[in-house]
């Protein structure tokens, strides 16, 4: 009952801010509410406050004791929503497929069905000695991805 009420308030808050979307939602047995959001243009503290208020201001603490935490998806967290890929175009991703293949490359395209990665590799020259840099690409459909993370470079 309490969980359903919170979920309904969360959906209403997200309807008002269509640039934001839900990554994770949990209500524990002791009524600790944890919400993780992301946004097409990133997430500001103000966005977390907006979602927090959309929920907190519509619940009665006299009726139900609870704690509420709204946070943004961390930079090191795996990507779990298709919408997250589009905002990371141009960044390096590390993808692990369900076939246990690992691909690391720059995300150059993301649509509703798949992503496209590009990377450079040194390979032996077809003729003669030495190596040559070759550009490679891979198209990966979302349903074959088991884990995807942004590679943070300093």
The reported pLDDT for the residue numbered 88 is 94
Q: Which of 145, 146, 142, 126 is nearest to 134 (CA)?
A: 126
Domains of the chain, residue spans: 2-72, 82-150
Q: How many H-runs (helices) and E-runs (strands) does the chain carry?
A: 3, 8
CA distance 29 to 20: 27
Q: What is the pLDDT of residue 57?
A: 93
**128 falls in which pLDDT band (50, 70, 90)?**
confident
Please give the pLDDT value at position 75. 81
Q: Please report which confidence band the pLDDT of residue 126 belongs to, taking 50, 70 and 90 as the band edges.
A: confident
Please tell me the least confidently modeled range out of 2-11, 29-38, 58-67, 142-151.
58-67
- Do 82-150 and 2-72 have the same topology in CATH? no
67-72 β-sheet, strand order: 20-27, 32-39, 67-72
Class of 2-72 per CATH? alpha beta
Does the domain made of 82-150 have the CATH classification 2.40.10.10? no
* Nearest partner of 90 among 111, 114, 110, 106, judged by Cα: 106
Cα 14–Cα 109–Cα 86 angle in degrees, nearest 5: 15
Per-residue pLDDT, 154: 80
If 0-12 CB within 10 Å is exposed, 13-18 middle and 19+ buried, where does residue 33 land?
buried
pLDDT in tens, 70-114: 999 988 889 999 999 999 999 999 999 999 999 999 999 999 999
Q: Using CA atoms, how far apart are residues 94 and 78, in angstroms rounded to an integer?
A: 10
Contacts of residue 68, Cβ cutoff 8 Å, sequence gap at least 6: 33, 35, 52, 55, 56
Q: Please report the pLDDT score of residue 3 as a whole number.
A: 93
The pLDDT tens digits of the residues spanning 11-64 come to 999 999 999 999 999 999 999 999 999 999 889 999 999 999 999 999 988 888
């Amino acid at each position: 009952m309490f969980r359903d009420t919170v979920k309904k308030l969360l959906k209403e808050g997200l309807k008002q801010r269509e640039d934001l979307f839900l990554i994770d939602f949990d209500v524990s047995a002791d009524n600790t509410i944890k919400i993780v959001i992301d946004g097409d243009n990133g997430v500001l503290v103000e966005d977390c406050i907006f979602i927090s208020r959309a929920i907190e201001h519509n619940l009665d603490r006299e009726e139900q004791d609870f704690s509420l935490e709204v946070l943004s998806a961390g930079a090191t967290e795996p990507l779990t929503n298709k919408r997250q890929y589009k905002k990371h175009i141009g960044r390096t991703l590390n993808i692990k497929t369900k076939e246990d293949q690992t691909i690391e490359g720059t995300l150059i395209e993301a649509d509703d069905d798949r992503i496209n990665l590009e990377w450079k590799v040194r390979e032996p020259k077809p003729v003669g000695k030495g190596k040559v840099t070759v550009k490679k690409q891979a198209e990966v459909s979302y349903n074959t991805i088991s884990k995807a993370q942004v590679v943070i470079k300093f």
